[in-house]
Amino acid sequence: MDDKSQAYVANRVRGVLYGQAVGDAMGMPTELWSVARIRQRYPGGVTDFMDGPQENDIAMNYLQGQYTDDTSQALLILDSLRANQWEVQPEDLAQRLLTWAKSIHAFERNILGPSSKAVLLAIQAGQDSRTITQKAVTNGCAMRIAPVGALFRPQQLSELVTMVVGVTRVTHATDVAFSGAAMVAGAVTAALADYDWPALLDWALLAGDTAGKLGAPTWEASPQARLRLGLEIARNTRRDPAEFTRQLAALVGTGTAVSESVPAALAIAYYGRDIRRCALLAANLGGDTDTIGAMAVAICGAKQGYQQLPMGWGALIDRQNPQHHLADYVTAILDFRQQSNT
């Protein structure tokens, strides 16, 4: 497997999946809250996994350590790919998403993002969803894509972009959606290859540039340009985390748009460079905290590996989310990587 041992790569791949789940679950209680609201509810800030508070009408559906739709959809994508010999089958993926949404009453419980919800309702009604996907600029495309990045090596840029675009197109088919999803997946790919942070982000930007050309054009701000701004903020505030998050929220944004949350997540990964630190930075950031956390910590998990998770975090994720066995997905990803390298 590359020039690294199988155990080395397995640790990194496991880090991606658990990083995604950790960032998602840690950021869940504060999802779509302002910084002021977070500080009012948690005066000392979020410092650990917690139940979703009843006053948060999305997070109220989850308990401590449970991940949200971000990670559930990421694993669902892997299920669809595995069932179809690692080929993207849009109809199969769409039906799996719809079946899953119905099974957890996602429409009634306000769990789905706006673009995915509209697309799935259109599919359920037998309507053409392209009028929705070609205008979709929210981050449902990027929140669930990190594990796809774990399937590839940097020399497989074309294959990575093809799979990212194929998966993303089911619900989001715009330039920013393709760019943002490819940036997250690309960051994971480069992290698994042990690129240093500047090279990792350059490769993520290349993946985003390549994928973005394939999407329906929009007037949205460039995720790549905002990432460059976020990295500049990170470098200028290296010794002041509070100032970093303040400027990141004010200038890059932390909302549900791809052009805000994706560059924010990559900037946090670059700034934090540590699973625990990234998870806590994202959870206290305000805005789409669970999604930003899922993306950022998946990237840090790819760079650091599962063994750098704080004691007990992996066990908590396993215990609180028995519907999935992450070890099975690690094995499947490793098998694919081995087959694609022969």
Give residue-wise pLDDT tens across range 81-132: 999 999 999 999 999 999 999 998 888 888 888 899 999 999 889 999 999 9
Whether the pLDDT of residue 208 is over 90: the answer is yes
| Mean of pLDDT values over 228-237 | 98
State the greatest distance between any 2 C-alpha atoms of the chain, in Å, as a whole number.
55
Alpha carbon 114 to its chain's center: 17
Whether the Cβ atoms of residue 160 and residue 182 lie closer than 8 Å to each other:
yes
How far is 313 from 261, CA to CA, in rounded Å? 24
**What are the extents of the domains in the chain?**
6-340
- Among the listed residues 13, 263, 31, 254, the one whose alpha carbon sits nearest the alpha carbon of residue 146: 13
The full 3-state SS of the chain, as one line of letters, equals CCCCCHHHHHHHHHHHHHHHHHHHHHHHHHCCECHHHHHHHCCCCCCCCCCCCCCCCCHHHCCCCCCCHHHHHHHHHHHHHHHCCCCCCHHHHHHHHHHHHHHCCCCCCCCCCHHHHHHHHHHHCCCCCHHHHCCCCEHHHCCCCHHHHCCCCHHHHHHHHHHHHHHHCCCCCEHHHHHHHHHHHHHHHHHHCCCCHHHHHHHHHHHHHHHHCCCECCCCCCHHHHHHHHHHHHHHCCCCHHHHHHHHHHHHCCCCEHHHHHHHHHHHHHHHCCHHHHHHHHHCCCECHHHHHHHHHHHHHHHHCHHHCCCCHHHHHHHHCCCCCHHHHHHHHHHHHHHHCC
Q: 162 exposed, middle or buried (CB, 10 Å; 0-12, 13-18, 19+)?
A: middle
Mean pLDDT of 128-151: 96
Query: What pLDDT, on a 0 to 100 scale, did the predictor assign at position 3?
Result: 47
Place of tokens 């908590």: 316
Of all residues in the chain, the percent with pLDDT exceeding 90 is 92
Q: pLDDT digit string (tens) for 248-285? A: 999 999 999 999 999 999 999 999 999 999 999 999 99
Q: Provide CATH code, domain 6-340.
A: 1.10.4080.10
pLDDT at residue 187, as a whole number: 98
The mean per-residue pLDDT over the stretch 28-52 comes to 97
Q: CA 309, CA 305: separation in Å to the nearest integer?
A: 8
The Cα–Cα gap between 145 and 168 comes to 8
pLDDT score of 109: 85
Predicted local distance difference test score (pLDDT) of residue 110: 81
According to the model, what pLDDT value does residue 249 have? Answer: 98
Residue 342's pLDDT band, with cuts at 50, 70 and 90, is low
Q: For residue 177, is pLDDT > 60?
A: yes
pLDDT value of position 108: 84
**2 pLDDT above the threshold of 60:** no
First CA to last CA distance, the chain? 10
Separation CA 308–CA 18 (nearest Å): 11
The model's pTM is: 0.96
Reference 184, options 70, 65, 318, 66; nearest CA is: 70
